[in-house]
Amino acid sequence: MMNQEQLQGNWQQLKGQFKKKWGKLTDDDLLESEGKREKLIGKMTERYGLKKEKAAKKLDKYLNRFDGTGNEMKTLANKVSDLAENMNVKAHDVIDNCQHYAKDHPLTVLGSAALAGAVLGLLGTRK
């Protein structure tokens, strides 16, 4: 993982990467932070409305992608981790949507379940 000195030393290389990842950070934000971790976290909380702890975790996770020289390490593990995180968020969204739909339309859900049960019952008795 990149430490504070490495972050500051490679700041010119990393600024472009930060702009790609966190588009809401302005050039002035990045210039003002000068690669200082705490200032970056402050700007992330300000621009994205994140709590300080969450912004710190996101920043550290992102910095783990870089080696000590500021070069991005494109490992399969990082890509899989990001993909898994996105899938987890989407799965929770689907579950929440289903729960809200079931609460808002209980008769439709019961009717659909009864119909599905009847169809499966008919299919199960066929030989």
Q: Which residue intervals of 10-105 are DSSP H helices?
A: 11-21, 27-33, 37-48, 52-63, 76-104
Domains and CATH numbers, the chain: 1-74 (1.10.1470.10), 75-127 (no CATH)
Measure the CA–CA gap between 75 and 56, rounded to whole angstroms: 22
pTM for the predicted model, two decimal places = 0.48
How far is the CA of 28 from the CAs of 21, 23, 25, 83, in angstroms? 16, 12, 8, 31
pLDDT band at 76 (very low <50, low <70, confident <90, very high): low
Q: What is the pLDDT of residues 47-69, one digit of tens each?
A: 999 999 999 998 888 877 776 55
Q: Which residue did the predictor score with more confidence, 1 or 80?
A: 80
Q: Encoding tokens for residue 81?
A: 């981790």
- Residue 53 has what pLDDT? 93
